[in-house]
Structure 1
Amino acid sequence: MSDEPENPDPAENPDQGPSEEALKAEEERQRREEERLKKEEEIKKVEEALKGALSGLSKTNDGTAFAFVRLNLAEKELEQLHGTLDHLVHVRYIDLSGNALTSAGCLGKLPSVAWLNLSKNQLPSLAEFEQGFESVQNLNLSGNKLKELPALALPALRRLSLTENEIRSAEGFKGHPGLELLELRKNQLRKCKGLGAMPALKELYLGENEISDLRGLEDLPRLERLHVRANKLKGFLSPFPHLPALQHLNLRENQLEALDSLAVLRVASVNLQGNPFNEELGEAARKEVILRFPAFRRVNKADVTREEREEWIREWKEKEAERERERLEKEEEERKAREEAEAAGAPPEDACLTSHSRNVSILLQGYLDRATQQAMPRPRPATPAWLRALVRPRDPYSGKVLEQQRVYDRQSRRASIITGLPVAHAETIKKYPRLSL
Structure 2
Amino acid sequence: MADDDPDATDQPAAEEVTEIEADAAAGAGDEPAEDGGDAAAPTDAPPPCEGEEPVPPPVDEDDKPVEDSEVLTSEMVGQHISLLARTGNGLSHAYTRLEIHSKNLTNIDVLENYLHLRYIDLAENAISDISALSSLEYLLSIDFHANKIKKIPASMDKRKYLQQANFAKNMIESIDVTDWPMIAWLNLNENKLSEVRLPEFGELIHLEARGNKITTTRGINARKLERLYLGGNQIKALDLDDKPNLQILHVRDNQIVSLDGLNESLNHSTINNLVETLDDIWRLGT
Q: TM-score normalised to the size of structure 2?
A: 0.66
Residue 217 in structure 1 maps to residue 221 in structure 2? no
Unaligned runs of 5+ in 1: 1-40, 265-437
SS of equivalent to 1:86: helix
Instruction: List per-residue Cα deviations over 1:81-110 (Å, max 9, x = no partner).
Output: 22x123322221101111111211121211
Deviations 1:401-423 (A, max 9, x none): xxxxxxxxxxxxxxxxxxxxxxx
1:190 maps onto 2:215 in alignment: yes
2:230 to 173, 189, 206: 206
Q: Give the CA RMSD over aligned residues.
A: 2.9
Change (3 A) 1:256 1:175: farther
Determine which of 72, 77, 84 is the counterpart of 2:104. 77
CA drift of 1:173 comes to: 3.8
SS of alignment partner, residue 79 of structure 1: strand
The structure-2 alpha-carbon separation of the partners of 1:227 and 1:175, relative to structure 1 and needing over 3 Å to count, comes to farther
Does the C-alpha gap of structure 1 residues 148 and 110 become closer, same or farther in structure 2, counting only changes over 3 Å? Answer: closer
Which one of 137, 142, 146 corresponds to residue 172 of structure 2? Answer: 146
Tell me the amino acid that sits aligned with residue 253 of structure 2: A
Shift of 1:130: 5.1
Alignment match of 1:251 (pick from 273, 277, 282): 273
Contact (CA 8 Å) 1:117, 1:141: kept in 2 or not?
A: yes
Partner of 2:162: 136
Distance 2:270 2:124 in 1: 33
Question: How many angstroms does 1:260 deviate by?
Answer: 4.4
Larger RCO of the pair (alpha carbons < 8 Å, separation 6+): 2
Contact 1:80 1:101 in 2 (8 A): yes
Deviation at 1:185, TM superposition (A): 0.6
Q: Which residue of 1 aligns with 2:78?
A: 51
Q: State yes or no: 1:227 paired with 2:250.
A: yes
Listed as ranges, the gaps of 5+ residues in structure 2 are 1-68
Counterpart amino acid of 2:203? G
Question: In structure 2, do the counterparts of structure 1 residues 94 and 69 end up closer, same or farther at CA, with 3 Å as the change threshold?
Answer: same
Distance 1:243 1:65, change over 3 A: farther
Amino acid at match of 1:81: I
Q: Please give the alpha-carbon distance, in whole angstroms, between the structure 2 residues aligned to 1:105 and 1:225.
A: 33
| Equivalent residue in structure 1 for 2:187, among 132, 150, 161 | 161
Tell me which residue corresponds to 1:242.
Answer: 263
Q: With structure 1 as the length reference, what TM-score do the two structures score?
A: 0.44
Distance (Å, rounded) in 2 between the aligned partners of 1:244 and 1:182: 19
2:138 counterpart of 1:112: yes
**Which entry has the higher C-alpha Rg, 1 or 2?**
1
Q: CA deviation at 1:183?
A: 0.8
Tell me, yes or no, if the aligned pair for 1:53 and 1:73 is still in contact at 8 Å. Answer: yes
1:286-365 matches, within 5 Å, as: none
Deviation string for 1:115-138 (max 9, x for gaps)? Answer: 011111111112345535332111
Q: Size of the alignment, in residue pairs? A: 217
- Evaluate the alpha carbon distance shift between residue 250 and residue 90 of structure 1 in structure 2; reply closer, same or farther with a 3 A threshold: farther
Alignment partner of 1:190: what SS? coil
Looking at structure 1, the residues matched to 150 and 99 of structure 2 have their Cα atoms a distance apart, in angstroms, of 23
Q: Judging changes above 3 Å, is the alpha-carbon distance between structure 1 residues 134 and 159 closer, same or farther for their aligned structure 2 residues?
A: same
- CA gap of 1:141–1:243, structure 2 versus 1, over 3 A, is farther
1:238 and 1:88 map into 2 onto residues whose CA distance is 49
Contact 1:49/1:76 (<8 A) preserved: no
Which structure's residues are more often helix, by fraction? 1
Q: Is the 8 A contact 2:70 2:104 kept in 1?
A: no
Residues 335-388 of structure 1 show CA distances to partners (whole Å, capped at 9, x for unaligned) of: xxxxxxxxxxxxxxxxxxxxxxxxxxxxxxxxxxxxxxxxxxxxxxxxxxxxxx
